[in-house]
Amino acid sequence: MTTEDDISRVKRQELELVLPALDEGVAFYIGAAIRARALAENLSLVVDIRTWDRQLFFSATPGTSFDNAEWVRRKINSVRRFQRASYRLVLERGEAPFPPQSGVDPADYVIAGGGFPLRVPGAGIIGALTISGLPGRSDHGVAVDAICDHLGRNRADYALREV
């Protein structure tokens, strides 16, 4: 499998993993499930779920720091601006910072996995689920797994290949 295969898989995730609705209850359910997984698997991570106008869920597990919250903020900005998973940006562009001529300030945007666009029918992408604390591909995988679980989808049908 190639990078192009991974890009195709992430695009499929973005298009098919659509939430019927996104509100405080949905955010809490998904966020709490991620936190429970992190604690059970001893994963140090921050999870943030939001619509573009407000944060609906935030949690940090032991071993995280202020830096993780900063990575989350920058990943959210990237998802919002580019309307795609932040890990797709990694696959498409590499992990080098945005060049100065792009007009994208690296203090506010990052190319790193873990930000996933939240789409609802009839509204499009209205927010993001963002993870920080693991390598970017794994951050992305945690987000995708949680959405699959919430939607009752088989994780394996959407997972990226092992590397």
DSSP per-residue letters across 76-110: HHHHHHHTS-HHHHHHHH-SSPPPGGGT--TTT--
| 58 phi, psi to nearest 5 deg | -145, 140
CA distance 118 to 144: 11
Give the residue-averaged pLDDT of 10-34: 98
pLDDT tens, position by position, 111-163: 999 999 999 999 999 999 999 999 999 999 999 999 999 999 999 999 998 88
The domains located in the chain, with CATH, are: 3-156 (3.30.450.150)
**Spatial contact of 159 and 87, defined as CB atoms under 8 Å apart:** no
Q: What's the confidence (pLDDT) of residue 98? A: 84
pLDDT tens, position by position, 28-85: 999 999 999 999 999 999 999 999 999 999 999 999 999 999 999 999 999 999 999 9
- Does residue 102 have a pLDDT over 90? no
